[in-house]
Amino acid sequence: MNTRQLLTGMSLFLYSAFFLNQPAYSKEVTPSFQDYRVVESLQKVFESVAEKVKPAVVNISTISEVKINHPPIPPEFKDFFFHFGVPFPQFPDKFRTRSLGSGFIVKQEEEWAYILTNNHVVDKATKIKVKLSDGSVYRAKVVGKDPKTDVALIKIKVGNKKVPTVELGDSDRIKVGEFVIAIGNPYGLNWTVTHGIISAKGRHGLGLNPIENFIQTDAAINPGNSGGPLCDIHGKVIGINTAIVRNAQGLGFAVPINIAKKVMNDLLKYGKVIRGWLGVYIEDISPELAKKFGVKKGVLITRVMKDSPAEKGGLKNGDIIVEFNGQPVKNVADLQLKVINTKPGEIVKIKVIRDGREKVLTVKIGQMPGTEHLALEDLISKFGFSVQELTEDLRERLGIPRWVKGGVIVTEVKPGSPAEDAGLREGDVIVKAGTTPRNLRRVKNLDDLLAVIRNAGDSGILLKVVRGEGVFYVVLNQEE
C-alpha cells in the first residue's frame, strides 16, 4: 500500500467516524402527551399564584423633601449684587423627589388595611399614595418603620370596602432550589410577575442593612419591585423583595417574612420594635482559629461592652460562643438573629470556649438601645414636630419657669404640618397630654408622650402647653 492509498483510507475512516456519530438534526422531535401535561401543570401553578396574590399587591408612590445645605456666602458676594442694584438670587433650601415601590396587604381590621413594604420605599416621605389592583387610590399613613431590617408597615383607610390580603408563609422552612414568584411594579410597570428559584439563604455581610439574613433569588427584581412579595408555589409570601446587585443578573435579595412578621407585630402591639441585646462585638472565626480551639463553628467575642448583659453574665473578650440557649451558633448573622429574637429579660444559657475549655454561662438578655428613639421618630413625625426631654441645662438656656415641673420641649416644627397648624412653636413645653380633658396625664418624659400618642389611635390629641409664663391647650390631628 502506497502513501496515497494510506491517506485516502484514513480520510474515509475519519469522515465515517465523525459524521456517523453526529446526532440526526434533521429528525423531527415530537413531544409526547405526557411532556405537555408536565409543562402545563407547572404553568398552571404559576398562573394560580399570580391570580391569588396579584390582587393584594399595591403600587406605592411617594413624595419626599430633601434639604439642601448651601455653603456660606461671603458678604462681599452679596455686596456686589447690591452695588449694581440687582436683587440677590434666592437659592432653594429644599427640593422634592418622587419614587415608586411596591407593597402587599397583610391584614384588614375594621376600616383600615395594613400593608408591608420596605422602609426605604417610604422613609422620609411627606406624602404616600397607594394604588390598589382595582385602580382605587388612597393616602397612606406610616404605622412604623424599622431601618435595621428595612421593613415598614403602612395603612390605608378603606372604610367598609373588603380588600384582598396575602397569606404569610414560614421563611424558616424554605429550601435552596425551590421555585419562587416575585410580584411588583418594576419601573412603574404595574403588577409584573417573574419567577425563579431560591439561590441561597442567610446571605449577610452585604452592607445593605444593619441586620441581614437575606433570601437570594434569581427571579427578576428591578427598581420598583422593592417592597413587593416573594412567594412560594402555594402563593404564600416568604419574603419582601428588597435589593438587587447593580450590573449583575440573577442576584436579587429579599427580607425573610419571619423577620418582617416580628417587626409588624411589635409595631402594632408596642409602637416600636422590641429586640434582645447582648452587648458584644463579634466576628466570624477563621479556619485557623477554629482549628486551634477545636471548634467547627461559632463566633469570636472581640469586645464586651461595659455594663452590658454580656459583662454582667460573665462573658469575656476572646470567648468563642458555640451555643445559644442549646442551639449551635453558626456565624455572626446567626447569633445576631438568635439574640434579637429573644425577649428582653429572658434568662439564656450561652456555651463558650475559653482557654480551650467549654464553659456555660447564664445571661439575662437586655433590650437593644435605640428602639425608643426610633419609636419617637415614627410616632412624632406623623404630626410634624420633634421633642426632647426638659433638662436643667435647657431650662437655664431657654428661661423655662421654675414652676414648670417636668415635660418635654418642642425642638422642631415642620412648616405646613399638623403641629404648625395647631399653633405649636419651637421652645414650647408639653406638660400634659391625652385625648379628652378628663384623661389628661402628666408628661414627665418621652415615654409618657409616646404612650398617649400610641393609645390615641387616629383620634385627635389634646396637649397642655407652657409658653413663657402662659399656659394654653392645642389639639393635634394627623394629616389626612
Nearest CA to 96 out of 68, 122, 137 is that of 68
Q: Say which amino acid occupies 143.
A: V
Among left, alpha and beta (phi > 0; psi -120 to 50; other), residue 468 is left
Is 41 known to be catalytic? no
Say if residues 478 and 459 touch (Cβ distance below 8 Å): no
Say if residues 436 and 475 touch (Cβ distance below 8 Å): no
- Considering 61, 102, 226, 417, which one is annotated as catalytic? 226
- Considering 150, 266, 319, 334, which one is annotated as catalytic? 150
Say if residues 397 and 346 touch (Cβ distance below 8 Å): no
Is 35 known to be catalytic? no
Is 136 known to be catalytic? no
The burial class, CB within 10 Å (0-12 / 13-18 / 19+), for 13 is exposed
Rounded to an integer, what distance in angstroms lies between the CA atom of residue 442 and that of residue 430? 9
- Considering 120, 146, 171, 199, which one is annotated as catalytic? 120
Residues annotated within a binding site? 120, 150, 224-226
DSSP letter, residue 56: G
Rounded to an integer, what distance in angstroms lies between the CA atom of residue 181 and that of residue 166? 14
Residue 338: Cβ within 10 Å count: 20
Which cell is 423 given? 399653633
Residues annotated within a binding site for substrate? 120, 150, 224-226
Rounded to an integer, what distance in angstroms lies between the CA atom of residue 252 and that of residue 242? 8
Catalytic residues: 120, 150, 226
